[in-house]
Amino acid sequence: MPDFEWDPETYQALMAEEIPDYPRLQTEVAAAAAAGAPKSILDLGVGSGLTAQRVLDALPEAGLLGIDASPEMLAAEVTLDPERTELRLGRLEDPLPRGPFDLVMSTLAVHHLDGPGKADLFARIAAVLDSAGRFVLGDLVVPADPADIVTPIDWIDDTPSSLDEQLTWLAEAGLTTRVHWQHRDLAVIIAQKD
Ligand SMILES: C[S@@+](CC[C@H](N)C(=O)[O-])C[C@H]1O[C@@H](n2cnc3c(N)ncnc32)[C@H](O)[C@@H]1O
């Protein structure tokens, strides 16, 4: 995994500067996640829990297991209800918790994996989804038109893929996909296990 160190103290300022549509992305992830009223949720790259909080607010019956590779980001989590939340230090590249989960979600974390890493993760996500579960991916994509690039990409820590590549890998994992929302270099994909 790349060496970039997340700092929860500067995280929100960094988001506001580099991803001005982060609040809208969170809104769209929460809307896509809430459909179907999932009860068991796995959040990959939960960070300090900002998007997880939005999802749990929309789903008062749900419990969430969050995984992140940054101890600092996990330690900064202060708003998630401990009765409904478990946080674990872990990498997206490592074996996933067995589940099954009604919902697997990930916001702005999967683009840190390269193409084969994303395809591998999508297959492992499909394996831990319940039979009617869904994966909601909100992330950076490489837009078809370079004029739509908003977020600075260093191609070291950030290795986004195109929307089409990710839809292909999700289909290869056996999931039925639909683009819930896209704006410039951000997208929310719903991948359903039928
Ligand atoms: C931009 S933040 C997003 C945090 C959270 N999902 C949100 O929406 O606020 C990206 C998070 O992904 C985590 N991350 C990046 N690469 C990871 C990996 N390979 N395994 C686990 N976590 C990773 C980082 O530690 C960081 O907390």
Cβ neighbors of 64 (< 8 A, separation 6 or more) are 41, 42, 43, 46, 52, 55, 56, 80, 84, 85, 86
| Residue-level pLDDT at 7 | 84
Residue 3 lies in a domain: no
Which residues of the chain fall short of a pLDDT of 50?
A: 1-2
Residue 103 lies in a domain: yes
| Residue-level pLDDT at 165 | 98
Residue 1 lies in a domain: no
If one counts the domains in the chain, the total is: 1
Q: What is the CATH number of the domain that holds 175?
A: 3.40.50.150
| Residue-level pLDDT at 25 | 97
The Å distance, Cα 164 to ligand 1 centre, comes to: 22
Residue 184 lies in a domain: yes
| Residue-level pLDDT at 3 | 61
Residue 40 lies in a domain: yes
| Residue-level pLDDT at 15 | 87
Task: Give the tokens for residue 10.
Answer: 């500067």
| Residue-level pLDDT at 173 | 98
For the whole model, what pTM was predicted?
Answer: 0.96
Which protein residue has the closest C-alpha to ligand 1 atom 20? 91
User: 55: alpha, beta or left, given left = phi > 0 and alpha = psi -120 to 50?
Assistant: alpha
The CA-to-CA distance between both ends of the chain, in Å, stands at: 32
- Mutating to test ligand 1, I would choose from 4, 6, 14 the residue with most ligand atoms within 8 A of its C-beta, which is 6
Residue 45 lies in a domain: yes
User: Which domain range does residue 66 map to?
Assistant: 8-192
What residues are in contact with ligand 1 under a 6 Å CB criterion?
1, 6, 45-47, 50-51, 68-70, 73, 91-93, 107-109, 112
